Amino acid sequence: MGTALMIALLIGAVAYLVLGPGKDGERPRRSRAARTKPSPDVPDWLRGRWAMMDGCRPGDGGLFPRWYFDPMTEFQARRLTEDGMTFSPSLTKGQASDLIGLGESPDDEDLEVLRFFKRPLRGMNKARARHEVAVLFQDEANRRAWEDRPATDVQREFYRFFGMSLQAGLPKRQADAEISQKLSAAQAESDPRLDHWRTLAQLFDDFSDAEFREGYDMKKPSLQAIRKAAEALAAEAGWEAVDSDGVAERLLETHPSLQK
């Protein structure tokens, strides 16, 4: 056998092994899903979320809003690059938003929903919180429970502060409406308690902040304890003198058990 023929046969054998058979035996092409396989940066729960996209259509009212299926924006691509994320250029706008959300804190609204349904919050990020809320609200019973949830502790303190009748089992949506009416009336009447309430609401926010409490090495006080401490200080020096630091010191004086 000539040298040229042997070389040709050898090249053909190598080509067969590398490329595989043609026509009927042709190797299948990689699918689009394979080309856009999530990078190692994508946690398992998010891979599962993206797998749910296959049976969804834009705007079908399910887990994914219509914009989720739009192409990734240039801003998102730059942000992912800046964050050091490995990603496919064919990501959707929603997928890119999920990746960005892995490094951001959850929205307060989503946290409120998760707390209501007693979901664990340790290690929660914006993307996962948003996903878990969407999954929860796929269940009609959960949607009804959320709509019919009771008034919050802060709302109940509002009723007490303004001397309003507080019924047992007050629904939040009813409290929202009645509080809105009361605020409008207080504004129209120049009720000084409106400014006092704003001070009190700020106190509630401050004492819900673990970092603020850490500055005083104190446990989280009840809203009622905060309100009473603020009212006591206001009776002594006026509401203008009431601030979070003064209330913290008063609480530690009157409630030593709050000290860690």
CB 244 within 8 A of CB 202: yes
Nearest to 68 by CA among 93, 99, 38, 42: 93
DSSP one-letter string for 133-153? HHHHTTSHHHHHHHHTPBPPH
Task: Please give the model's pTM, rounded to 2 decimal places.
Answer: 0.62
CB 98 within 8 A of CB 46: yes
Domain assignments of the chain as residue spans, ordered by start: 38-147, 153-161+171-258
Tens-place pLDDT, residues 142-165? 999 999 999 999 999 999 999 999
Phi/psi at 228 (nearest 5 deg)? -65, -40
State the pLDDT at residue 62.
Answer: 74
**Residue 34: Cβ within 10 Å count:** 9
**Spatial separation of the C-alpha atoms in residues 228 and 30, rounded to whole Å:** 68
Q: How many CA atoms lie within 13 A of 86 on its CB side?
A: 8
State the pLDDT at residue 192.
Answer: 94
State the pLDDT at residue 5.
Answer: 42
Instruction: Name every residue whose Cβ is closer than 8 Å to that of residue 225 and which is 6 or more positions away in sequence.
Output: 251, 255
State the pLDDT at residue 61.
Answer: 63
**Residue 52: Cβ within 10 Å count:** 14
Tens-place pLDDT, residues 18-38? 334 443 444 333 333 333 344
Give every residue of the chain whose pLDDT is below 50, as ranges: 1, 3-40
**Spatial separation of the C-alpha atoms in residues 91 and 134, rounded to whole Å:** 20
**Residue 58: Cβ within 10 Å count:** 13
Identify the DSSP state of 41.
Answer: T
State the pLDDT at residue 3.
Answer: 46
